Amino acid sequence: MDTFVIEGGNPLRGTIRVSGSKNAVLPIMAATLMTADITEIDNVPNLRDVQTMSKLLTHLGADVRFTHRRLFINTRKVRSWEAPYDLVRTMRASVLVMGALLGRFGKARVSLPGGCAIGARPIDLHLKHLSALGVEISLKDGYVHLQAKHAPKSTVRLAYPSVGATENLMMYAASLSRRTVIAGAAREPEIDDLAAFLTAAGAKITARRGHVEVSGADRLAGVQHRVIPDRIEAGTFAAAAALTRGDLHLAGARPDHLGAVLKKISDAGARVEEEPDGVRIVARNRPRSLTLTTMPYPGFPTDMQAQFMALTSVGDGTSVITETVFENRFMHAAELSRMGANIAIDGRVAVIKGVRDLKGAPVTVSDLRAGAALVLAGLAAKGRSVVHRVYHLDRGYESMEKKLKSVGASIARRRN
């Protein structure tokens, strides 16, 4: 298993180009199943999760090619509607094929994703609301069996704005030749990107402030689509600039997708400048302490919580971070403590007493964003850190060590 060896202490200076969004491309890849056509997706990041979704589409009968950030997906010969356990268990986002397969075939069989390092993560909301749209659902041998029937209702109201449930509902609704309303829907930019894709393919979707209206079409067509930039990757590098007291230009970042994150970067004392092609972060001093609570978009993203724990670890004062989206998402706290951070956890609340310096140490990554936090901490720490299990990072950060190296970090991948 690969490790990163980091010598901390270098301020990051220069330009990093932000890759395409992982969480936008995965549902769009699933949605291509509905087209029975050829789709071209541009600005696709080369990530393990994208490879896993490609494998799943190939398993279903699609022809998938990836060259130069472009994915060509031909779904004409797709004949299967079953997402097997082996693929779903390696990536939870595989459940996003559920809505698309239902749309294409009127039925689907999808393995239950099971537990996950950052909490139980059930799919009860996906199933409850698909059922309200007329889908018959049964559970057997660890699989969900879904069968489209006549829909009694054309409006569903989500009690919680689940991103994945909203996406599955949008895809299924895009196949129904009538209007469906999804109220209380997620508002993440990735939802808008999926809406843009489905609309280009022939459905009609408006998504505004958690109110999504879908007018479906019998047939969706293959189109060309460019994926939005990855706001979490951009936010991670913004936090790295603040933590190392650097000066980074994040080329291609969309400040309009990063509101809550940039506000906290600026509250921490860094200067945030919007530029014609991205954002610049300039930090000169020790970060100020912060209070933040993770929330569904447009609130502060849970996917940035770990990175901000690394930032506040060296903050000037005591910070309080509350995690409301996932239970059990503080696994990085114990590893950061091994580097000298002073963190106390009580349920969903972390209290971080800032220390002047972190110290390099061997640490182990438990999940994708926890890994990002440990890399950031290693970049700021005094001395050498060895980060184990970087395969978690390869799921969601494209060429992370190369990008960091290009702006002055001392980081190397050791292949074991």
Q: Would you say 3 or 52 has its CB closer to ligand UD1?
A: 52
What's the distance, CA 205 to chain centroid? 22
Q: How far is the CB of 355 from ligand UD1 (least distance, A)?
A: 28
Question: Is 388 in contact with 361 (CB distance < 8 Å)?
Answer: no
Q: How far is the CB of 75 from ligand UD1 (least distance, A)?
A: 20
Q: Would you say 186 or 358 has its CB closer to ligand UD1?
A: 186
Q: How far is the CB of 96 from ligand UD1 (least distance, A)?
A: 7
Q: How far is the CB of 340 from ligand UD1 (least distance, A)?
A: 28
Other beta carbons within 10 Å of 278 = 21
What distance in Å separates the CA atoms of residue 168 and residue 178, rounded to the nearest whole number? 17
Per DSSP, what are the bridge partners of residue 137?
A: 146
Token output for 34:
């509905």
Per DSSP, what are the bridge partners of residue 273?
A: 280
Q: Would you say 236 or 244 has its CB closer to ligand UD1?
A: 236
Annotated active-site residue 116? The verdict is yes
Q: How far is the CB of 285 from ligand UD1 (least distance, A)?
A: 31
Only one of the segments 68-76, 114-122, 239-247, 340-348 lies at the binding site for ligand UD1 (rule: CB under 6 A); that segment is 114-122
Q: Would you say 201 or 368 has its CB closer to ligand UD1?
A: 368
* Pair type for strands 291-293 and 318-322: parallel
Can residue 326 be called a binding residue for ligand UD1 (CB under 6 A)? yes
Question: Is 108 in contact with 34 (CB distance < 8 Å)?
Answer: no
58 to 97: interface string for ligand UD1, x by CB under 6 A: -----------------------------------x----
3-state secondary structure of 379: helix
What distance in Å separates the CA atoms of residue 53 and residue 27, rounded to the nearest whole number? 9
180 to 219: interface string for ligand UD1, x by CB under 6 A: ----------x-----------------------------
Only one of the segments 69-77, 130-138, 155-163, 268-276 lies at the binding site for ligand UD1 (rule: CB under 6 A); that segment is 155-163
Give CA separation, 141 vs 114, 120, 144, in Å.
13, 19, 8
What distance in Å separates the CA atoms of residue 377 and residue 178, rounded to the nearest whole number? 51
Q: Would you say 174 or 409 has its CB closer to ligand UD1?
A: 174
Q: 130-159: buried (b, 16+ CB within 10 Å) or exposed (e) per residue?
A: bbbbbbeeeeeeebbebebeebeeeebebe
Q: Would you say 186 or 381 has its CB closer to ligand UD1?
A: 186
Token output for 72:
């060509």
What distance in Å separates the CA atoms of residue 118 and residue 141, rounded to the nearest whole number? 24
The single residue of 36, 116, 331, 355 carrying the catalytic annotation is 116
Can residue 21 be called a binding residue for ligand UD1 (CB under 6 A)? no
Q: How far is the CB of 72 from ligand UD1 (least distance, A)?
A: 22
3-state secondary structure of 258: coil
Subset of 299-318 contacting ligand UD1 (CB under 6 A): 301-303
Q: Interface with ligand UD1 by CB under 6 A: which residues?
A: 23, 26, 93, 119-126, 160, 162-165, 190, 301-303, 325-326
Would you name the residues annotated as active-site residues?
Answer: 116
